A = this chain, B = another copy of it.
Amino acid sequence: MSTARADRRDETRIVADPALPTIVITREFEASPERVFRAYTDPELVVQWLGPRRLTMRIDAYEAHSGGSYRYVHREDDGTEYGFRGVFHEVRRDERIVQTFAFDGHPDGVSLETTLFEDLGGRTRVTTTSLMYSIEARDSMIRSGMRRGVSEGHERLDELLDSATAAARTDQSPTRKA
């Protein structure tokens, strides 16, 4: 079962628009919009998947509601930390998140991110469009190694959704009622 599931997994697509200062990230997940949305907004879940595998994540704030703020830190084994922060302009349950995003190391390089959750009938397509002030800023973001971090994060989210599905299946199994 888990092998068949793995075979069906989508790949993360990351597209830099030739004309606009945007990055469009698209990925499909084997779970409902409700579950995927929760994984994007509940800090106890976010901390389990966001970012590359080699980094440890610490969440200082994650107020995923319209008007809320967030801040988190990714940490290398050698102690180096990368902090990120922003505000949520809108969090529309199971549908849409609009937030700002900035890296502590370059606080003036603010981007606007819109994430949409589309119901594909049990599966969910997530599309995040990041908008920056210039093509140069966008290209610099692409060159920063974000592709690998984003793809690995999505793989970790697959695993989290799988394990939650397995746990739910176990909870519902007749043997548990004994």
Contacts and interface: CB of A to CB of B under 8 A. Distances in A.
B98 A133 contact: no
Q: How many copies altogether?
A: 2
A89 interface: yes
Interface in A45-77: 66-67, 69
A114 interface: yes
Interface residues of A, number: 28
A132 B98 CA distance: 13
A67 B102 CA distance: 13
Contacts of A66: 69
A109 to B, nearest CB: 11
Interface of A: 19-22, 66-67, 69, 86-90, 96, 98, 100, 102, 107-108, 110-112, 114, 129, 131-135
